[in-house]
Amino acid sequence: MGPDGVPSQSVPWRKVLWERQPFPDNYVDQRFLEELRRNEGIRQYRYWAVVKEAGFVGQQLSCVAIFITLWLYMEQGLLSPETLLWTSLSCALPGYGLYQVLTAQTESCSESRTHLADSQSAVLFLSFTFGFSPVLKTLTESVSTDTVYAMSALMLLAHLLSFPYAHPSPPGSLSLNAALFASVCLASRLPGALHTFAMLTCALLVFALWPCLLQRLRENAPGHFTGACVGVCVGGVGGLGSQSPGGAMLLSLALVSVTLICPLLLVSLQRHKDNIQGPWDEAEIQEDLSRFLH
Amino acid sequence: MEDESFCNISGKPISLDCQSHSSFCREFTVSTPKISIGKVMVYTCSVWLFAYTVFFFTQNTAVLSSAILITLVGMMLHIHFVKVDHESLLVIGSLGIQVSSSYASGREVTTFIEMSKIKDIVINEAVYLHQIIYYLCVLLRDPSEPHGVSSVVTLFQSSKPRLNCLVKIYKSCQEILSTCK
Amino acid sequence: MGQRKKVGAVKTSSSENDTGEASKVSPKHNICMVSDFFYPNMGGVESHIYQLSQCLIEKGHKVVIATHAYGRRKGVRYLTNGLKVYYLPLQVMYNQSTATTCFHSLPLLRCVFVRERITVVHAHSSFSAMAHDALFHAKTMGLNTVFTDHSLFGFADVSSVLTNKLLTVSLCDTNHIVCVSYTSKENTVLRAALNPEIVSVIPNAVDPTDFTPDPSQRPTDRITIVVISRLVYRKGIDLLGGIIPELCLKHPDLHFLIGGEGPKRIVLEEVREKYQLHDRVRLLGALEHKDVRGVLVQGHIFLNTSLTEAFCMAIVEGASCGLQVVSTRVGGIPEVLPEDLITLCEPTVSSLCKGLEKVIAKQRSGSFPSPNSTHARVKNLYTWRNVAERTEKVYDRVAGEEVLPLEKRLWRLRSHCGPVAGSIFAFVAVLDFLFLLLLQWLVPDRHMDFAVDATGPNGLWVKKRQKSEPGC
């Protein structure tokens, strides 16, 4: 029964080892690989659905751009900290109201935090930031400005890369920390302590609270979600354009490639996907076995 | 008295000299070729050339004198501790085995193993650097434990003869060992 | 094991020519088995290599084994019947597998191949870096190569994509590949993009004399389910943790006997604790191979919950001891035993419980054949002699094939492994060849002593044994 024996076609080949069959060991039957399955349970992507999801990435990119624009205005003294604070407050309050409305739609309020707890943490954060803003202002005085800028750029990039786009509420700790670190770095280069305070409050609004609200929008009002994304993108490009047209060009290029070209690439490459499955795959345990233990 | 030429494991010629003093006393001497004057010249010249290059750049005469010192001391150490001229194995039935190696300087290291401690002489295989080689060794036993092997003494460690030479020595040794046991 | 042998009084002249009078019957080969996995390490690959070598020696071939040094076990050792093992001092990196640089093992492996006058290099296990190195060097030296794959691999994750690429490179110019089951063959053919004609299926074997039934050891007042496996995720121990409480609650006379050790032991201990089954679920810990039979004969049903398995020797051992086998339907398991000896289930708790209940009911009604009749059926299914015979045919075929010369090998690598990996490994192959030339210049083949044969046509141990009595 070694390789290249004489096969007799009288008996059909069977895929069993316990029976000595009149076939050579290297015999290849027609049934070879018949249990091979290709691309089982594959997800077919539709272009516009992917674009919609990718819009979230573009929106986050624009958020960073908006934040930088605000900082540029502050640094040049074109925007006073008081104005920024009042604008932030006037954005935060309707946003909070909207968030509450959207949350109430989906779940009972038993699990969610009370308004008292929310306002408590807001007051706590604001008072601490206000108290420490002189310290934060002088924190990076001994560091050269170039280093601070490079650090901020790196941290904002880290924020964008590590942002949990699939489940952005609450933002991942790494991305949030990177963003706050970058904003502390940038805020410390501003002229006054109040500037620093205003900048940090704004950073909290943009990087921590806005993704939460946007996630609610995505869940409960998909139409408005798209609108919000487009709005943020336009705002980002426009804002940056008023300060540096070149930057605005780059941002719009990045937005186009992320939201339009990358999805196109994904959908077109989908045809080439060749995933093979067969009896050799490790079986997956589908059931929940923890009920036996707990 | 006979003198045969063999090769060692790196292909250098060695000579085996078997002297039969009596039926139960034989001496095997494996001699390696002497240091060639050419080799000494090459080593000396390369050290001196290197020293001269260093001197050329540093203009420090201490480099030159230390180079002379290094070559002299190196040569002395080499012929006194490294270069083995010949190794011999003297087997005297009923008495024991004497293993000696003479260095090129004339220094001789001799050890004697008495018969009661010898379990056997065998050819064994070992991994030596990136090669696998045969070697001849004496198996020693502890008198208190007659069936175990307590340690191993390697023979002809520096000349490293090849298998055909080892087999010849082995057979002769076994003849004597078998008569006295 | 590990006994040193003196090889002094030999007829070196007679061992010089290796095609003796035996060449009339069938050619005898000088085979070198290479794998990182060999005794004193324990496992399926290790015993496969040992048993196969022993039977090939019995058939008159010369077999040596090359593996890496295990602790203080270095150098050359002889096992039963003159099986020579080289424990080469190569650095172990992870999980008993050596580190690979593609080059550093060449001097020693070349020395082994030259001095033992090897004609066929047989590498084992795709997890062994040394096996792949040996294949690579053997091809550089112009020796015929055979590879045995013992495991199954997926295609989905990054690590398997990388290892599959390496396997493609390693096997693209290997003369013949052996797999242990048809499923394993399909898997290997897909992974390494091979021509299926050069892949043979030769199952593993079990020594039937080691696994005989003994019904007197079975307790009559209860039904015992035996599980013998390493307690790891891949063996489906989590499923076992679900089966135990489910069945123990329904059948008060059901007992579990679990042999083996591993990180998932904690799951079983938790289950035992929670359902208070200390007297009914016994965890025996790691078992030595010789103790396995003693555990098997105490049971009625053998349960295997593996999630992936290329062949599964354990179920054959269980059936050989006369137990009813219940197993998951994964990998090559459906090919191993005839339908009436095994109950196949899906890898879920409910399916396995259903299958076990059916077997328990049949066991109670006594409608199963006796253990001895099961043993009689199983004992001739998988024997090492048969494996050796079929492997011998592979060697005969391989010996007649040409080993690709360097330029064809480079071409094959480039055309078969893709432009990037192919080019890289073609470059490595050229370097390996240059390194070999350097070594041949430093230590020419004629300065190496041919080793004295212990096995094979001129083997000294074979002659010694022929005087006494033959046996495998």
**Contact at 8 Å (CB) between A208 and A176?**
yes
More confident residue, C421 or C19: C421
Query: C306-326 pLDDT, tens per residue?
Result: 999 998 889 999 999 999 999
Residue A38 exposed, middle or buried by CB count within 10 Å (0-12, 13-18, 19+): exposed
In a domain, B52, yes or no: yes
Residues of B with Cβ-Cβ distance to C10 under 8 angstroms: 167
Q: What percentage of chain B has pLDDT greater than the value 90?
A: 59
Q: Which residue has the higher pLDDT, C78 or C19?
A: C78
Considering the domain architecture, whether residues B62 and B120 belong to the same structural domain is answered as no
- How many domains is chain B built from? 2
Q: Residue C470: its pLDDT value, please?
A: 45
Choose from C3, C11, C445, C449 for mutation: most chain B CBs within 10 A: C449
**Mean pLDDT across the stretch A26-34?**
88
Domain co-membership, B20 together with B47? no
Chain A / chain C CB contacts < 8 angstroms: 131
The CB-side HSE value for C386 (13 A sphere, CA atoms) comes to 19
Nearest to C335 among A1, A16, A33 (CB): A16
The SS3 call for residue C175 is coil
Q: Which residues of A touch C247 (CB under 8 A)?
A: none
C88 contacts in chain B (CB < 8 Å) = 127
Interface touch C9/B124, C-beta < 8 Å: no
A33 touches chain C (CB under 8 A): yes
Chain C CB contacts of A279 under 8 Å are: 183, 186, 330-332, 334
Closest in C7, C443, C450 to B123, CB measured: C7
Please indicate whether, in this complex, the C-beta atoms of A280 and C154 are within 8 angstroms of each other.
Answer: yes
Asked, for residue A277, whether it belongs to a domain, the answer is no
Q: Do C115 and B132 touch (CB under 8 A)?
A: yes
C111–B134 CB contact, under 8 Å? no
CB contact under 8 A, B125 and C76: yes
Q: Is the pLDDT of residue C1 over 80?
A: no
Q: What band does B24 get if pLDDT is binned at 50, 70 and 90?
A: confident
What's the domain count of chain A?
1
CA angle C128, C131, C134 (to 5 degrees): 150
Contact status of B11 with chain C (Cβ, < 8 Å): yes
Residue whose C-alpha is closest to residue C319's, from C380, C257, C255, C389: C380
Verify that B21 and B91 share a domain, yes or no.
yes
List b or e across B37-51, with b for residues whose CB sees 16 or more CB atoms inside 10 angstroms. Answer: eeeeeeebeeebeeb
CA A23 to chain CA centroid, Å, is: 57
| Alpha-carbon distance C12 to nearest alpha carbon in chain B (angstroms) | 8
A93-102, A106-115, A254-263, C319-328: least confident range:
A106-115
CB pair distance less than 8 Å for B125 and C7? yes
Q: Which domains does chain C have, with CATH numbers?
A: 26-205+387-467 (3.40.50.2000), 215-381 (3.40.50.2000)
Residues B23 and B57 in one domain: no
Compute φ and ψ for A129, nearest 5 degrees.
-60, -40
Look at residue C11 and tell me whether its pLDDT is greater than 50.
no
Which of A171-180, C116-125, C436-445 is the least confident region? A171-180
Q: What is the pLDDT of residue A224?
A: 87
Q: Check pLDDT > 60 for residue A4.
A: no
Give the pLDDT confidence score for residue A3 in this predicted structure.
54
Nearest partner of B154 among B140, B174, B168, judged by Cα: B140
Cβ distance of C271 and A292 shorter than 8 Å: yes
Mean pLDDT of C3-23: 39
Q: Please tell me which residue, C154 or A267, carries the higher pLDDT value.
A: A267
Paired tokens of A196: 């620093």
Whether the predicted pLDDT of C83 surpasses 80: yes
Q: A265 falls in which pLDDT band (50, 70, 90)?
A: very high
Domain identity same for B125 and B58: no
Picking from A3, A35, A283, the nearest residue to C394 by CB comes out as A3
The neighbouring-strand residues paired with C84 are: C64, C78
List chain A residues with CB under 8 Å of C242. Answer: 287, 289, 292
Is some CB atom of chain C closer than 8 A to the CB atom of B168?
A: no
Q: Which chains touch C (3 or more CB pairs under 8 A)?
A: A, B
The DSSP bridge partners found for residue A115 are none
Tokens, residue A282: 């490790």
Please give, rounded to a whole number of angstroms, the shortest distance from the CA of B10 to a CA of chain C.
Answer: 6
Which residue of chain C is at minimal alpha-carbon distance from A24?
C200
- What pLDDT shows up at residue C317? 92
Instruction: Evaluate whether residue B110 is within a structural domain.
Output: no
- Return the residue in A277, A280, A286 with the most chain C beta carbons within 10 A, the one to mutate for interface testing: A280
Mark whether B19 and B46 lie in a shared domain.
no
- The set of residues, in sequence order, having a beta carbon less than 8 Å from that of C412 and lying 6+ positions away, is C172, C173, C404
Chains A and C lie in contact, requiring 3 or more CB pairs less than 8 Å apart: yes
* Cβ pair A293:C198 closer than 8 A: no
Q: What share of chain C is helix, strand, coil (3-state, %, to 5)?
A: 45, 15, 40
- pLDDT value for B3: 75
User: Residue B44 belongs to what domain range?
Assistant: 37-81
Looking at the complex, report in whole angstroms how far the Cα of residue B111 sits from the nearest Cα belonging to chain C. 24
Contacts of B167 in chain C (CB under 8 A): 8, 10, 12
Nearest residue of C to residue B161 by CA position? C449
Minimum-distance CB partner of C88 among B9, B127, B133 = B127
The amino acid sitting at B151 is S
In a domain, B165, yes or no: yes
Tokens of C251: 């059948």
Q: Which of residues A112 and C179 earns the better pLDDT score? A: C179
Mean model confidence pLDDT for chain B: 90
pTM summary value? 0.81
> Which chain C residues contact residue B119 at CB under 8 A?
none
Q: Is residue C455's pLDDT more than 80?
A: yes
**Nearest CB neighbour to C449, from listed B10, B124, B163:** B163
One domain, residues B150 and B75:
no
Give the confidence band of A77 by pLDDT, cuts at 50, 70, 90: confident
Q: Which of residues 157-196 of A touch C (CB under 8 A)?
A: none
Burial class (CB in 10 A: 0-12, 13-18, 19+), C270: middle
Q: Which residues of C touch A280 (CB under 8 A)?
A: 152-154, 183-184, 186-187, 308, 310, 331
* Domain co-membership, B13 together with B91: yes
Tell me: pLDDT of A169 over 70: no
Are B144 and B175 within one domain? yes
* pLDDT digits 0-9 by tens, B107-159: 999 999 998 889 999 999 999 988 999 999 999 988 888 888 889 999 999 99
Please give the interface size between B and C, counted as residue pairs whose CB atoms are below 8 Å apart.
68
**Lowest mean pLDDT, pick from A252-266, A269-283, C122-136, C241-255:** A269-283
pLDDT score of B147: 83
Instruction: Look up the ipTM and state it.
Output: 0.88
A20 → chain C, closest CA residue: C381
Residues B41 and B18 in one domain: no
HSE at residue A70, side-chain half, CA atoms within 13 A, is: 27
Q: How far is Cα C472 from Cα C464, in angstroms, rounded to an integer? A: 15
Looking at residue C130, what is its pLDDT? 93
Distance CA B75, CA B44 (A): 9
The mean pLDDT of A34-45, rounded to a whole number, is 83
Q: Is residue A99 part of a domain?
A: no
What's residue A278's pLDDT? 86
**CA triplet C393, C468, C389: central angle to 5 degrees?**
10
Tell me, yes or no, whether B144 lies in a domain. yes
pLDDT digits (tens, 9 = 90+) for C183-239: 999 999 999 999 999 999 999 998 888 899 988 888 888 999 999 999 999 899 999
The verdict on B145 and B163 lying in the same domain is yes
**Domain containing residue A233:** 53-89+117-269
| Residues in CB range of C460: below 8 A, 6 or more apart | C7, C10, C82, C452, C453, C454
Q: Does B54 share its domain with B7?
A: no
Q: Which residues face C78 on adjacent strands?
A: C3, C84
Any chain C CB within 8 A of the CB of B147?
no
Residue A47 forms part of a structural domain:
no
With an 8 Å Cβ cutoff, are A293 and C267 in contact?
A: yes
Whether residue A64 is contained in a domain is answered as yes
Closest Cα of chain B to C58: distance in Å?
A: 24
B151 in contact with C, Cβ within 8 Å = no
CA A241/CA C352 separation, integer angstroms? 66
**Extended beta strands in C83-119, E state:** 83-88, 92-94, 97-98
* Residue C141 DSSP label: T
Q: C88 CA to chain A: closest CA distance, Å?
A: 33
Residue A34 lies in a domain: no
- Are C234 and A282 a contacting pair at CB < 8 A? yes
How close, in Å, is residue C19 to chain B by CA atoms? 22
Closest C-chain CA to B120: C6
Chain C residues in contact with B164 by the CB 8 A cut-off are 12, 449
Q: Using CB atoms within 10 Å of the CB of residue C160, give its burial: 0 to 12 exposed, 13 to 18 middle, 19+ buried.
A: middle
Nearest CB to B7; choose among C6, C12, C447: C447
Would you say residue A250 has pLDDT above 90? yes
- What's the pLDDT score for residue A212? 87
b/e burial code for range C276-297 (CB count within 10 A of at least 16 → b) = ebeebbbbeeeeeeeebbebbb
Which own/partner pairs from C345-352 qualify as long-range (CB within 8 Å, at least 24 positions apart)? C347/A283, C347/A285, C347/C236, C347/C239, C347/C305, C347/C307, C348/A285, C348/A286, C348/A287, C348/C239, C349/A287, C349/A289, C349/C239, C349/C242, C349/C243, C349/C246, C350/A287, C352/C239, C352/C243, C352/C303, C352/C305, C352/C326, C352/C328
Q: Which chains touch B (3 or more CB pairs under 8 A)?
A: C
Tracing tokens 């003869």 back to the chain, one arrives at B161
* Beta-carbon separation of C201 and A26 below 8 A: yes
**What mean pLDDT do residues C27-41 have?**
92
A67: pLDDT confidence band, cut at 50, 70 and 90? very high
The mean pLDDT of chain C is: 88
pLDDT band for position A287 (cuts 50, 70, 90):
confident
The arithmetic mean of pLDDT across residues C54-58, rounded, is 93
Query: Which stretch of A5-19, A51-65, B81-95, C41-55 has the lowest confidence by average pLDDT?
Result: A5-19
Task: Tell me which chain C residues have a C-beta less than 8 angstroms from the C-beta of B171.
Answer: 8-9
* A176 within 8 A of A207, measured Cβ to Cβ: yes
- Check CB contact under 8 Å for A282 and C196: no
Tell me the pLDDT band of C7, cut-offs 50, 70 and 90.
very low
Amino acid at A130: F
DSSP E strand boundaries for C309-425: 324-328, 342-345
CA distance C350 to chain A (A): 9
